[in-house]
Chains A and B, each alone.
Chain A
Amino acid sequence: MSGSATVQAQNASDNYLFNTKGFLSWALTLDHKRIGMMYLVGVMGAFLLGGILALILRAELADPENWFLTNKQYNQVFTLHGAVMVFLFIIPSVPAALGNFLVPVMLGAKDVAFPRLNLGSFYLWVIGAIFFLVALLSTGLDTGWTFYTPYSTQTSGPVVAATLGVFILGFSSIFTGLNFIVTINTMRPPGMTWFRMPLFLWATYSTSIIQVLATPVLGITVLLLAAERVIGIGIFDPKFNGDPVTFQHFFWFYSHPAVYIMILPGMGIISELMSVHSHKGIFGYRFIAYSSVAIALFGFLVWGHHMFTSGMANVTVIVFSALTFSVSIPSAIKVFNWLATMYKGTVQLNTPMCYALNFIFLFTIGGLTGLWLGTLSTDRPLHDTYFVVAHFHYVMMGGTMVAFLGGVFHWWPKMTGKMFNDFWGNISCLVVFIGFNMTFLPQFVMGSRGMPRRYATYDPQFTVFHEWSTYGAFTLGLGLFIALGVLIHSLLRGKQAPDNPWGGATLEWQCSSPPPYYNFHTAPEVNDPYNYKPLTYRGEKGWEYVRPKPSTVPQQPDQVQV
Chain B
Amino acid sequence: MSHDHAADHGHDHPSFLAHHFDDPEQQFDAGKLGIWIFLVTEVLFFSGMFCAYALYRSRNPEVFTFASTFLNTKLGAFNTGVLLFSSLTMAWGVRCAQLRQRGGLVLCLALTLICASIFLGVKAVEYTHKWDMGLLPAHFYLSQYAQTIEHHDWAPFKELVGQAHMTWLTKLCILPGLITIGFAAWLFSTLKSKERRKIEVAGSMLLTALAFFGGIGIGRVFQAAEEAAAAHSTDHGDKHAATDADHKHDAASADHATAASADKTMLVSTDSQTKIGAPSIEQIDQKGGAGLFFSIYYCMTGVHAVHILGGMVVLTWLLVRASKDVFHEQYFGPVDYVGLYWHLVDLIWIYLFPLLYLIR
Contact = CB atoms under 8 A, between A and B. Distances in A.
Contacts of A227: 137, 295, 299
Interface string B1-43: 1100100010000000011110000100110011001101110
Say which size band chain B's interface belongs to: 35 or more
Given A217-B48, A241-B56, A241-B63, A234 B139 contact: yes
A242 B138 CA distance: 9
B45 A216 contact: yes
Nearest to A211: B41
A555 to B, nearest CB: 14
Interface stretch (A108-116, A155-163, A459-467): A108-116
Nearest to A516: B5
A250 B288 contact: no
A112 B34 CA distance: 12
A240 B289 contact: yes
B292 A242 contact: yes
A506 B139 CA distance: 58
B34 A241 contact: no
A28 B2 CA distance: 11
Given A182-B30, A232-B139, A237-B138, A219 B45 contact: yes
A243 interface: yes
A178 B34 contact: yes
A221 B48 contact: yes
B203 interface: no
A356 interface: no
Contacts of A25: 1
A224 interface: yes
B258 to A, nearest CB: 27
B1 A186 contact: no
Given A233-B299, A241-B60, A242-B292, A213 B44 contact: yes
B41 A174 contact: yes
A246 B45 contact: no
B323 to A, nearest CB: 22
Nearest to A116: B18
A10 interface: no
Contacts of B30: 113-114, 182-183, 185-187
A182 B139 contact: no
Most chain-A CB neighbours within 10 Å: which of B5, B289, B303? Answer: B5
Contacts of A113: 20, 30, 34
B298 interface: yes
B288 A235 contact: no
A234 B45 contact: no
A480 B20 CA distance: 38
Contact of B29 (A174, A186, A224, A518): A186
A216 B41 CA distance: 6
B59 interface: yes
Interface string B175-189: 000000000000000
Contacts of B56: 235, 241-243
A434 interface: no
A212 interface: yes
Contacts of A526: none
Contacts of A246: 52, 55
Interface in B33-89: 33-34, 37-38, 40-42, 44-49, 51-52, 55-56, 59-60, 63
B248 to A, nearest CB: 22
Nearest to A117: B34
Contacts of B18: 115
B287 interface: yes
A386 interface: no
Interface in B303-323: 303
Contacts of A215: 41
Contacts of B38: 178
B140 A240 contact: no
Contacts of A240: 138-139, 141, 288-289, 291-292, 295
B296 interface: yes
Contact of B9 (A114, A179, A221, A518): A518
B5 A186 contact: no
A223 B26 CA distance: 36
Contact of B288 (A181, A186, A241): A241
A278 to B, nearest CB: 34
A559 interface: no
Nearest to B56: A241
Most chain-A CB neighbours within 10 Å: which of B18, B41, B49? Answer: B41
Given A182-B30, A240-B139, A242-B138, A233 B295 contact: yes
Contacts of A7: none
B321 to A, nearest CB: 15
A519 to B, nearest CB: 9
Contacts of A219: 45
B33 A212 contact: no
Most chain-A CB neighbours within 10 Å: which of B1, B18, B153, B296? Answer: B1
B193 to A, nearest CB: 31
Contact of B292 (A109, A186, A213, A241): A241
Nearest to B295: A233
B137 A234 contact: yes
22 contacts: A28-B1, A30-B2, A111-B19, A114-B30, A174-B41, A178-B34, A179-B34, A182-B30, A212-B40, A212-B41, A216-B41, A216-B48, A220-B303, A227-B299, A233-B137, A234-B295, A240-B138, A240-B288, A240-B291, A241-B288, A246-B52, A246-B55
The 9 closest A-B pairs by CB, nearest first: A232-B139, A234-B138, A233-B295, A220-B48, A240-B138, A216-B45, A111-B20, A110-B20, A216-B44
Interface of A: 20, 25, 28-31, 109-115, 117, 174, 178-179, 181-183, 185-187, 212-217, 219-221, 223-224, 227, 231-235, 237, 239-243, 246, 250, 517-518
Interface of B: 1-2, 5, 9, 18-21, 26, 29-30, 33-34, 37-38, 40-42, 44-49, 51-52, 55-56, 59-60, 63, 137-141, 153, 287-289, 291-292, 295-296, 298-299, 303
Given A186-B26, A186-B33, A235-B56, 7 more contacts: A25-B1, A111-B20, A114-B34, A178-B37, A178-B41, A179-B34, A242-B292
